[in-house]
Amino acid sequence: SLLPLFIEGEVVKGFGRGSKDLGCPTANFSLEVVQSLPKGLAPGVYYGWAQVDSEAVHKMVANVGWCPFYQNKEMSVETHVMHKFDKDFYGSNLKICIVGYLRPEKNFSSLNDLIEAIKKDIADAHTKLEEMEAKILKDHKFFNQKN
């Protein structure tokens, strides 16, 4: 299996498609980082752990692939950190540990359906990350290495 999968890189500007307006900002990795990922990684929504610079490790949900709702042309890895930050962190180092798979990408017929799906993903991630096999990865040495 490809999981758990550890990814690290600088947070870059995304597509400016208003994730923040949906109440769900998603931090993007550069195309270079995304293209270095294992080819077999299935598109979809994943849950795991995230760390901005050397701060605390938080729960996250990440979308991997081409977002059909927005007819994305490029592959992307977009991480929503389940934590309220005081300010944006473009240019920071982001580390994520992808722990498990939640669901495939879907097309949504309305913005409201998309928002409801995101809420469910976040709730599901909360639950799954309470499991012991997930919790031990929060303390993985990957998150202790200084940059």
CB 33 within 8 A of CB 9: yes
Structure tokens at 144: 């202790």
E-assigned strand segments in the chain: 5-12, 27-29, 44-52, 57-65, 76-81, 93-103
Q: Considering the complex, state which of residue 55 and residue 85 has its C-beta at the smaller distance from ligand ADP.
A: 85
Task: In whole angstroms, give the CA distance from residue 124 to residue 54.
Answer: 26
For binding to Mg ion (CB under 5 A), which residues are involved?
Answer: 14, 19, 26
- 85 is an interface residue for ligand ADP by CB under 6 A: yes
- 16 is an interface residue for ligand ADP by CB under 6 A: yes
* Residue among 118, 120, 127, 140 nearest 100 (CA): 127
Check 8, 78, 130, 131 and give the catalytic one. Answer: 78
Would residue 78 show up in a list of annotated catalytic residues for this protein? yes
Q: Considering the complex, state which of residue 125 and residue 134 has its C-beta at the smaller distance from Mg ion.
A: 125
- Among Mg ion, ligand ADP, none, residue 66 binds (CB under 5-8 Å by kind): none
Question: Nearest approach, Cβ of 132 to ligand ADP (angstroms)?
Answer: 25
DSSP state of 146: -
Q: Which residues of this chain interact with ligand ADP, rule CB under 6 A?
A: 11, 13-17, 19-20, 25-28, 80-81, 83, 85, 88-90
